[in-house]
Structure 1
Amino acid sequence: MAGLELVLDMLRRLQSDMREVKETLREHTRRLGHIEHNTAQQMVANAEQSDRIDRLSERFGRIEGRLDLRE
């Protein structure tokens, strides 16, 4: 009977360890999701900024053309 109790005790410890591993994995998955979300937002912001810079460049080009400042 002592052998059976030892095996059951080991299985309980393994089960407890597995719960901890699963909880850690859930936390890491959640944190990775936040990182991916923030990265996507930054990419959108960079694209918007690039678009604004392109429009400003076009406007400066038109202004230079009107003032005959082109090289």
Structure 2
Amino acid sequence: MAEVTNELIYEVLKAMQTRLGNVEDGLREVRGELKGVRGNQQAQQVQMSAVQTDIGNLYEAFGTLDSRLARIERRLDIIDTPVR
């Protein structure tokens, strides 16, 4: 069996410290990527909400225009009778 010396222990601890530093760097990188993914998801949710609001506004505007057009047709007496 090999003799365990302080120098051998020191070398093993130095290697472990280097590897631990690499793990910490990798973890920092993964955390940064995760923050980016979360930020992207939040941005997409905000965009989707804005699109839904815009669609709702369009439906409301079309409804208003449809009502106004129906009123104009009644006043001008140009309402088409439905075909049966």
Q: TM-score, normalised by structure 2?
A: 0.71
Higher helix share: 1
Runs of 4+ residues over 4 Å off in structure 1: none
The counterpart of 2:64, out of the listed 44, 55, 62, is: 62
CA RMSD of aligned residues (A): 1.6
CA distance in 2 between partners of 1:20 and 1:12 (Å): 13
What 5-or-longer segments of structure 1 have no aligned partner? none
The percentage of counterpart residues that share the same residue type is 28
Q: Based on CA coordinates, which of the two structures has the bigger radius of gyration?
A: 2
Q: How many residues align?
A: 68
Q: TM-score, normalised by structure 1?
A: 0.82
Matched, 1:46 2:48: yes
Structure with more relative contact order (C-alpha pairs < 8 Å, separation 6 or more): 1
